Every structure is written in structure tokens, then in C-alpha cells.
């Protein structure tokens, strides 16, 4: 999720890794930037019950950048590495500094970090209706491909046979991480979201739901739950979910979603939220059948201009915000 601002006028801007002392101001800028862009009546309180900045910094402080201008924080960007795949955002800049090339200054070291990590495919989620956003990212080799729907529904009580990662002992957690890594690798070579599973557990952001078959992991979902996470108050946000490629993947996807809704109901949450790339057409249609409805749409931009794991028969939930 990003806020790009192409400019005509240069500033003396420096970029460095984010420090803990930057977090409060970086979070304020994040809220004000998105609130201003989207026309919120009180930008300072926008996303007030959701947390993106502190949680992502804690997950990987080396993957967060800030820009300084005239001795003050001007903006920030967060990178996420999922093995061979990476994405960035939220990228935000103080509104009074829009159109001063600060976003471009943040993006150059972002690309350097992707290169250092050996990321093979990279992406981002941005506003589909903004030529300014899309034009900026094209300068860095990203190309718009497919719409991404951010969807939601009310929580229904479900029966589920899924297991919880947090309930496992240490040895079984290690086994589960290995199984999750193997499953995502079967979808897209090198894809690895175990850092998300660890972050949710270590920061108490929610739960990872595991659906085991007879001798392997069939599916899993990383869920953020409630205020202080990316879900926000009274919500369960499926940050990432995946089903192993199989002839019965659609059935397993339903069971996995049952497990996520059961988790939400158990925690007294009232709203489910999930993002899905519309080129994952079977997963999207199944969410519609389960009464998910689209709240907002963005566009996924890719570098290189290839679909990565956004394919019709892939049952994956994520949205790269």
C-alpha cells in the first residue's frame, strides 16, 4: 500500500533505516497521509484502530526506511520479504511535502534491498484510479496487472477441525513452519511466509490456523485479530492463506475459511476481512459464494511484468498492502 508523489522540485532529503524513536511520528504521518488522500474528515485518526507501522517494524527493523528533510521525518516505507517474493508499503509522505520527490528517494534504496535479498518477483498494492501512483512505480519497473479486491463479511459461527499454531509445542511449531514453507513453495518456487506466522505469535496479533491432511499440511491461514493488529477493532483479517495445489483445493479452501471464521467467533469478533487478486478467479468466486463483498479495489503491480502466483487455480488470500 503506497502513497507516491511525483515532483518537479527537489529537496535535500536523506534516507536511513527506521529507528524505534521514529515510530510515533512515522505512524502519525502514515495516518495523516492516507487520511488526507482519501478525504477523511479527521486524517489524524485515520486507521486509528489498526496498526501497520509498529508491528511491521518489530517484525523486521532492517526492512523499514525513513526519509528526513530539514531535520524532520518526512516519510517512510516498509518492505516485506516472503522468500523469493517481496513487496513494499505502506509508503507515506507528509502531505505538506507531496510533490517533492521524497517517495522516489525512498524507492531507490527499497529496490537495493530487494536486490540484496535476491527477490525474484516483487509487487505492490496501489490505487487503481490514480495515474500518478501507477506512473511513479512504472519508473521502477513495476507494471499494473490485476485488480485486487479487499472484501469483508459478517462472522458466522462455523464448525471447524483446524488446529492453532500457538497451541503447539516448540518442536511441533518447527514442524508446522517447515510444512507451511513446503506448501507455499509448491505454489510459487521460494515463496515463504513463515515470518508472518512468527510475527503474529511473537507480537500476539492473532493466530495461524492449520488444516492437516493424513500425512501433510493441506492449508493454513495467518489471521490478525482485533485492535492493535492490521485487522482493527472487532475484525479478523486474513493476512495470508494458502491451500496446497490439489484436485480438491476448492473443498479445502472452504474448510480453511471455516477455521478462520470459527477463530473469529471464538474471539468475539464480528467482521471478516480478506484480500484476493482477481486473477485468482476460483478463490475470488468462492469468497463471493461465502457472502464476502468488495469494500475497496486496488491494482497489483508486478516487477517483472509476470503473474507470479496470481493464477486462476491458485487458492491464496493476500493483498500486498
pLDDT in tens, 14-34: 999 999 999 999 999 999 999
Kindly state whether residue 203 falls inside one of the protein's structural domains.
yes
Residues 84 and 170 in one domain: no
Write down the pLDDT at residue 1: 64
Kindly state whether residue 3 falls inside one of the protein's structural domains.
no
Total number of domains in the chain: 2
Write down the pLDDT at residue 75: 98
Write down the pLDDT at residue 10: 58
Residues 246 and 192 in one domain: yes
Q: What angle do CA 231, 235, 240 make, to 5 degrees?
A: 50
Residues 230 and 265 in one domain: yes
Residues 56 and 107 in one domain: yes
Nearest in space to 31 (alpha carbons), one of 17, 13, 52, 5: 52
Q: For the chain, which residues score pLDDT lower than 50?
A: 4-8
Which residues of the chain form beta strands (DSSP E)?
13-17, 64-69, 72-82, 85-88, 92-93, 121-126, 143-154, 163-164, 206-212, 217-225, 235-243, 271-277, 293-303, 316-317
490478525: which residue's cell? Answer: 224
Residues 177 and 304 in one domain: yes
For the question of whether the overall pTM of this predicted structure is more than 0.85, the answer is yes
Quick one: DSSP state of residue 127?
Answer: -
Cell of 59: 517484525
Q: Residue 98 belongs to what domain range?
A: 13-141
DSSP 3-state assignment of 188? coil
Nearest in space to 209 (alpha carbons), one of 156, 160, 155: 160
Residues 75 and 216 in one domain: no
- pLDDT, tens digit (0-9, with 9 covering 90-100), for 200-235: 999 999 999 999 998 899 999 999 999 999 999 999
Write down the pLDDT at residue 48: 86
Kindly state whether residue 2 falls inside one of the protein's structural domains.
no
Amino acid at each position: 500500500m503506497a502513497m507516491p508523489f511525483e515532483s518537479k522540485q527537489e529537496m535535500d532529503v536523506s534516507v536511513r533505516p527506521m529507528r524505534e524513536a521514529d515510530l510515533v511520528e512515522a505512524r502519525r504521518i502514515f495516518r495523516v497521509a492516507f487520511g488526507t488522500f482519501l478525504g477523511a474528515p479527521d486524517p489524524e485518526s485515520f486507521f486509528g484502530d489498526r496498526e501497520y507501522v509498529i508491528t511491521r517494524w518489530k517484525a523486521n527493523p532492517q526492512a523499514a526506511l525513513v526519509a528526513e528533510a530539514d531535520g524532520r521525518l518526512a516519510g517512510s516505507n516498509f518492505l516485506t520479504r516472503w522468500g523469493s517474493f517481496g513487496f513494499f508499503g505502506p509508503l507515506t509522505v507528509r502531505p505538506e511535502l507531496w510533490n517533492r520527490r521524497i517517495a522516489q528517494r525512498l524507492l531507490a534504496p527499497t529496490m537495493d534491498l530487494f536486490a540484496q535479498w535476491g527477490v525474484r518477483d516483487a509487487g505492490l498494492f496501489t490505487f487503481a484510479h490514480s495515474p500518478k501512483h501507477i506512473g511513479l512505480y512504472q519508473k521502477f519497473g513495476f507494471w499494473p496487472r490485476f485488480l485486487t479486491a479487499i472484501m469483508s463479511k459478517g462472522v458466522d459461527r462455523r464448525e471447524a477441525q483446524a488446529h492453532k499454531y500457538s497451541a503447539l509445542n516448540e518442536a511441533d511449531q518447527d514442524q508446522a513452519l517447515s510444512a507451511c514453507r513446503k506448501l507455499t513453495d509448491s505454489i510459487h518456487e521460494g515463496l515463504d511466509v513463515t515470518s508472518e506466522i512468527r510475527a503474529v505469535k511473537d507480537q500476539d496479533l492473532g493466530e495461524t490456523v492449520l488444516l492437516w491432511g493424513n500425512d501433510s499440511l493441506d492449508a493454513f491461514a495467518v489471521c490478525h485479530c482485533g485492535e492493535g493488529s492490521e485487522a482493527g477493532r472487532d475484525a479478523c483479517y486474513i493476512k495470508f492463506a494458502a491451500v496446497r495445489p490439489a484436485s480438491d483445493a476448492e473443498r479445502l479452501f472452504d474448510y480453511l475459511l471455516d477455521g478462520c471464521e470459527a477463530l473469529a467467533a471464538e474471539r468475539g469478533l464480528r467482521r471478516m476481512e480478506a484480500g484476493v487478486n482477481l486473477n485468482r478467479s476460483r478463490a475470488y468466486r468462492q469468497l463471493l459464494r461465502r457472502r464476502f463483498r468488495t469494500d475497496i479495489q486496488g491494482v497489483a503491480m508486478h516487477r517483472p511484468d509476470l503473474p507470479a502466483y496470481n493464477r486462476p487455480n491458485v487458492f491464496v488470500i493476500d493483498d500486498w498492502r
